[in-house]
Structures are given as structure tokens and as C-alpha cells.
Amino acid sequence: MVDHNIKEIFLNIFDDDNITFDTSIHNYEKWDSLCHAKIIVALEKKFGIKFSFSEITLFTRVKNIQEYLSKKGLIQC
Amino acid sequence: MLNFYQAINDKLKNSNSKCYVYYDETHYYPEMYENIEKFNSILKDYSANKIVFFTGKSFYAYCGIFSILLSGNVWVPVNPELPEKRIIEMIQLANPSVILIDRDIPSKIKSFIEERAIRIVNVNNIIKSNSKSSVSLNHIKKNDTAYIMFTSGSTGIPKGVPMTHKNFINFIENAINILPFKTQEVFSDFHDLGFDISIFYLFCCVLTESAFAPFMKREELFFPIDHIIQNKITVWSSVPSAISRIMTMRPDENIHNSIRIMFLCGEPFRLDVLKYCYNNLKVKNIYNFYGLTETGVENFYHYCSINDLIRFKKKGFVPIGKPLPGNNIKISSNKELLLSGCQITPGYIGNIAQDRFELIDNTRWFHTGDIIEKFEDVYFCKGRLDTQVKLSGYRVELMDVETHLRNIEGISDSVCFVNNSTLHCAVETSGSIDEKKIVYLLKKELPSYMIPKKYFYLKCFPKNKNGKIDRNFITKQFLKT
């Protein structure tokens, strides 16, 4: 299940609560570069962290974001 | 033969510099020229023929493009990622002799091509082959078409814009004179090759014996900084919003990078973005260019200075500056910019939209549709006279999107508008229609930048006194929400 914090961020940005693990920049039309910037800013604010440039490039799928935050102990799987 | 192409050919043939860099993958000019000669073994049999280039970005793509141009044929870039219907419309307009591909073609497109007996050649077979043919520049004539690019059309079908060699060479010669290039730069290739900013980096890169650094993955486009740093890009070209995305994510950070020259165009360039380029990206040479596909890529330029932040503070934007040599301007009574000179296209394919061209005192002028205003010694672009908008640097005719929306069952009318650089639409529908279904159907017809991101629904559109749809009322009503 997608973590509720991530769900909330996506809901605020996309006005859509049908986000799944597989939602990605490749299959979700609304997820454009502007929204990507908003997601990164919202995640950093929410979890009080700063992603590296290469990490930002990897966050192209909800699953990747959740796995990263889980590994860092910021959310529970 | 043109001196310009002689210079291009000399650089391609004689340089030993690096010509391509993409992380661990590098290539050098001798290899590029060898591949150009391989492509030429096919292309030498054609002259002034249209060659649709239906491939993604790769080292071999650059080889193919230069081979098409050096052989005196017409380069027609068609992005394979576009919807099938759009691709077919483009191929139909271009009416090519050959299609160069690097992948399997979807069956619908394939049967369309085969019905017209267009020759299909796979790029991978050309590269694998040992067959080569020397390049001869004798077929290139200055008034022949060099390339065809496509813009959005109000009827829902793209417009084909042919550009002659003479049209675009004037722009490139100006760019080479104005920008402080060194040799062995690394040029970003950020946008789709079918966006005419590609003309800038394709030619300036080779003329300075520099390397292409393509952005190929969607994630690289979303956040280009990692790519910029790793591939040591020195000449950046893009729409300003590509920089403003970085600014959104890293507003206060100093980002160490190797960009020396920034070529921005295609959108209004905000002063806060300029400030970020100076203060956070530490770029020294920043240029704002303005132009249209129909008028040979760029026609105006402004060399930015740190003083612009104060000088143009009230305007909030960087000016488009002054016309490039070879371009003449006229401003009509309604403040529309008209352009004339050697860069104006001979006309759209199919001789459509003739009203964009006007003969005044024996000079052929092009109506840009852009409103322009002079401030001190520079010009500012103030918007459009019609319903065209700029989205991610692409000119989009709102009526194009609206036409496709109206074709969807259950939608009787539609109004598109832009808010915060995002395309929105209001649809008139008597029943309920699923947004996902609309997006699904539009994706079949339109490129992703033309698909609205937000949808509003009305049972009946309000009309103005003339009985026309009240676009302003609808737009304002939804912007309030």
C-alpha cells in the first residue's frame, strides 16, 4: 500500500487519490516536470531531508520514492 | 555549393575532437564522418528529396541528420514518441521518399507508409553495413528546402514549415558571431529534435568542433542538473522553464556546474530566473533569443547583464532585445510584430495560412501574431494576438486542442486556457464524462504537452453579446476556483 504521507502529497498536487506503486512519470500524464518539482519540494519539506541530484533523478515512480523513504526509516513499509 | 556547408563538411571530416558524450559513451568526429558516409551510400541516390527521420536520439541520429543535409536532401524530424495519428499526419504532409527508422514501426503507420510506396530504411542496417559513399556538396542550393518542422495548426492538423538553407544559415552565422564559443564545447541537446532550437546546437556544435550531450530519458528532462554536471556541459540551450524547474527544487543552493553560455528562447524569460542563473548557477554569458519556426529559428537577441535585474525590474522579464542582422521589423497599428528578410519561410506546406504573409511596398512580411513593445533601446514581447500559447517552448494553437476535445463523444464544446504555464480546459457536456477517458483519447491524437492537466465541466457554455462562446468569462470563472 502506498504510504499515507506520499498519498497526501500526490493528492495535493494532482487532486487524485488513485495513486499506486506503479504510478510513474511514464504512465501518469499529469506528472510533468513542474509537478515533479512540486513533489520533490513537498517530500523534502514533509520529511525534513534534502535529496541529492542523482536521487531526484531516480524518483520517477511512486514505488522508488516509497522504497527510498522506507530505507531511510522515514516511513514504515 | 555553399561556403557554409563546406565549413561544416571540413569540420566533420577533419576534426579529431570528441563529438558526442553521454555519460560513459563517447564518440569522435572521425567515427561520425565514417557513419555519415555510410548513410550517404543510401542518400546519394536522392537529391532535394524529403527524408523523414523517425528515430530517437543517439550518436547515429546526429550522423544521419548531417548526412541528409550534406547530400542536399530535406531533413524531416518526426519524433516516434508522438501519437500515431499525429505521426501519420506529419508523414502525409511531408510526402517523403525515404523514412529512416531505428525501431519497429507501429502497424498502422507501417501500412500507411507501404501504401504510398515510401522506402523504409533501418538506421541499424546502415551502421552495420560496410557500404560507404563520399559526400558531395554539389546538390545543395541555397533556396532549396533544408528541413521541415511542424507547428500546431488551428484545424487540428499540424502545419508543415519548410526552411531553406538560406533561411536558417543567416541565424547560425549570427549565433557564431555573437556567442563567445570556444572550440571543444559540450552542447546540451535538451529538447526534441523536432523543436527548431535543435538547429542552433546542431550547427554551432560542429562549427566549433564540439560535442553533443543528448538528454534522452524523461527523468533527465525533469531534473537536468545531474546530467549537466556529469557530462560537463558548457553550452546550455533550452526554454527558460527548464531552469525555473531547477530553481523550484533548489531555490537557495549554489549549484557548481560548467555552463559558460546559456541560450534561452521560446518562452518569456522571467527576471527571477535570470537572477538565479547569475547567482546560483554562476553562468557568465546569458542570452535571450526570440524567433519563430516560420522565420528561421531566431530573429531577436538580448545579451543579458546583471544590470538587467534593476533596469527591467518593473517589466519583470528579460527583453527579446534587438533584431539579428538580416531581419527587418515593422510594428503594425495593433502592435503586432511583422518580420521580413532572408529568414522567412517560402510558405507552409499546402500553401495554407496565406494570410500570415503580406506584400507591403514590394517586401514580403510575415505576421508573427506576437505583440511587441519598445522600451528604451530594446523590445519586449507582450503576448499573442490570437489563441496561440507557448507550452514547454512549443507553440500550441488552443483551437487545435479544442478541436480534438470536441471530437470526443459526450463533449459538445471546449475552451482551453493556460494558468501558471499549465494547460487547463473547460468542457461542455450534458452527461458525465470521465477525465481518464478524455486523457486516454487525447493521448492517441496529441503530444503530451498538448494534453490539458486540469478539467472543468459545464452543462452549457455562456455566450457573449455576439452569440460566441464567452472565453474570457469561462476562463476567469475557473481561475477563481
Is position A42 within any domain? yes
| Residue contact B222–A33, C-beta within 8 A | yes
| Residue contact A36–B226, C-beta within 8 A | no
Measured between CB atoms, which of A26, A34, A58 is closest to B245? A34
Give contacts of A29 with chain B, Cβ < 8 Å.
Answer: 439, 443, 448, 451, 453
Give contacts of B451 with chain A, Cβ < 8 Å.
Answer: 29
Side-chain half-sphere exposure of B20, counting CA atoms within 13 A:
21
Question: Do B299 and B402 fall into the same domain?
Answer: no
B314 vs B271: CA distance, rounded Å = 10
pLDDT in tens, A17-43: 889 999 999 888 888 888 899 899 999
Q: Is the ipTM of this complex over 0.95?
A: no
- The alpha carbon of B325 is separated from its chain's Cα centroid by a whole number of angstroms, namely 22
H/E run at residue B247: helix B240-249
Is position B380 within any domain? no
Which SS3 state, helix, strand or coil, does residue A1 take? coil
Instruction: Report the percent of chain B where pLDDT is more than 90.
Output: 78
Is position B369 within any domain? no
- Residue B203 confidence (pLDDT) above 60: yes
pTM as predicted: 0.89
Is position B103 within any domain? yes
The domain tally of chain A equals: 1
DSSP string, A6-69: HHHHHHHHHS-----TT-BTTT-TT--HHHHHHHHHHHHHHHT----HHHHHH--BHHHHHHHH
pLDDT in tens, B102-149: 999 999 999 999 999 999 999 999 999 999 999 999 889 999 999 999
Q: For chains A and B, what is the number of CB pairs under 8 angstroms? A: 57
Give contacts of B220 with chain A, Cβ < 8 Å.
Answer: 57
pLDDT in tens, B438-458: 999 999 889 988 999 989 998
| Residue contact B221–A33, C-beta within 8 A | yes
B137 vs B363: CA distance, rounded Å = 31
| Residue contact B226–A30, C-beta within 8 A | no
The domain in which residue A47 lies consists of 4-71
Average pLDDT, chain B: 94
Rg (CA), chain A: 11
Pick from B72, B222, B40, B46: nearest CA to B144: B72
- Residue B154 confidence (pLDDT) above 80: no
The domain in which residue B438 lies consists of 397-480
The domain tally of chain B equals: 2
Last residue within a domain, chosen from B311, B345, B378: B311
- Residue B66 confidence (pLDDT) above 90: yes
CATH of residue A53: 1.10.1200.10
Distance from CA of A12 to the nearest CA of B (A): 13
Which are the contacts of B92, defined by CB distance < 8 A and separation ≥ 6? B112
Indicate the pairing of strand B378-384 with strand B300-303.
unpaired
Is position A76 within any domain? no
